[in-house]
Amino acid sequence: MGLPISVVDDLGFRIELENPPHRIVSLVPSWTETLFALGVGANVVGVTRFCVEPAAGVAPLAKVGGTKNPDLSALIALKPELVIANAEENRREDIERLRDNGIAVLTTYPRTIAGAVESILKLGRALGCEPAADSLAREIVLTVSEIETAVGVWSKLRFRAFCPIWKNPWMAFNADTYSHDVLRMLGFNNIYASAGERYPMTTLAEALALRPDVVLLPDEPYEFKERDVEELKAELPPPLSRRVLLVSGRDLHWYGVHMVGGLKTLADRLARLRAAML
């Protein structure tokens, strides 16, 4: 028997567990990857169909639908002792139904890099793997510190970035988001930082009126591809048409263990973009 666990999640709900959970369902792809990195992958009994990392680890696991439309009956049948959710990726009504069925749900809601680190520490406490979570948190903090040092003066002379997350209609994100904080850390100004909605809909004309210096196209949640780059370049004025870059959506949006390598990769790509703009 382990010691009782009490954790307050990112929405202020207190999770009380008698022991570290041995049956876990994850409804968040980035956290699924992180659970395996923290050494508790053997306790994961169910994931969403979007949970694709680590590939070998998730392949044999029960799939409980998508993040927005999970099969709650199938999930409940797995008898989880803890469900890992996210306030943005999962619907509140689904989380409430799970709680109504007596299932503990830890809901994360990181909107900054520091918030993502804090969520990792909460996961560590809830899962009984605090040393591994502490180690991962320190590694991420060190990674961010190294990136910020490398960015240097660029943090004061920031290029303005248009970074849509959807097309038809165009959608972006404001300052109250994890992705915005990543761009800030990398030395870029998000042109939709002051938008009233967290994920504002816009038009290309409205985006251009905000005078972006670069356009960054992540491959998730909308899967921007090379054909989108070529289509967009034809509509952009020079020199902006030469400053359109595809980037990894995971590097920009995923928190957890992916931050260690993903933030470094994104920082390197954007450093090369800055150098080409001089």
Q: Is 107 exposed, middle or buried (0-12, 13-18, 19+ CB in 10 A)?
A: buried
Instruction: Flag whether pLDDT at 31 surpasses 80.
Output: yes
Whole-number pLDDT of residue 60:
97
Q: Percentage of the chain surpassing pLDDT 70?
A: 98
Tokens 């207190």 sit on residue: 14
| Distance, CA of 258 to CA of 251 (rounded, Å) | 7
What single letter denotes the amino acid at residue 29? P
Compute CA 77 distance to the chain's CA centroid, rounded to the nearest angstrom.
Answer: 28
For 120-138, how does the pLDDT look when each residue is reduced to its tens digit (9 = 90+)?
999 999 999 999 999 999 9
One CATH from 3.40.50.1980, 3.40.50.2000, 1.10.260.40, 3.40.50.2300 for 152-277: 3.40.50.1980
**Residues 6 or more apart whose Cβ sits within 8 Å of residue 137:** 117, 120, 121, 124
Whole-number pLDDT of residue 275:
85
| Distance, CA of 170 to CA of 201 (rounded, Å) | 6
CB atoms within 10 A of CB 61: 17
Q: Where are the domains of the chain?
A: 5-109, 152-277
Residue 42 corresponds to which tokens in the numbers above?
A: 């053997």
Mean pLDDT of 29-45: 98
What single letter denotes the amino acid at residue 200? P
Tokens 């510190």 sit on residue: 145
**Residue pair 179/163 in contact by the 8 Å Cβ criterion:** yes
Buried b (16+ CB within 10 A) or exposed e, 4-18: ebebebbeeeebebe
Compute CA 45 distance to the chain's CA centroid, rounded to the nearest angstrom.
Answer: 22
Whole-number pLDDT of residue 277:
80
Q: In this structure, are strands 170-171 and 14-17 parallel, antiparallel, or unpaired?
A: unpaired
Q: In this structure, are strands 14-17 and 24-26 parallel, antiparallel, or unpaired?
A: unpaired
Mean pLDDT of 10-14: 95
CB atoms within 10 A of CB 1: 5
Whole-number pLDDT of residue 2:
60
Confirm whether 5-109 and 152-277 share one CATH topology. yes
For 70-125, how does the pLDDT look when each residue is reduced to its tens digit (9 = 90+)?
999 999 999 999 999 999 999 999 999 999 999 999 999 999 999 999 999 999 99
For 165-210, how does the pLDDT look when each residue is reduced to its tens digit (9 = 90+)?
999 999 999 999 999 999 999 999 999 999 999 999 999 999 999 9
What single letter denotes the amino acid at residue 188? F
Whole-number pLDDT of residue 1:
52
Mean pLDDT of 264-271: 95
Closest CA to 46 of 25, 74, 65: 25
pTM above 0.85, yes or no: yes
Mean pLDDT of 218-244: 95
| Distance, CA of 202 to CA of 182 (rounded, Å) | 21
One CATH from 3.40.50.1980, 3.40.190.10, 3.40.47.10, 3.40.50.1220 for 5-109: 3.40.50.1980
| Distance, CA of 150 to CA of 186 (rounded, Å) | 9
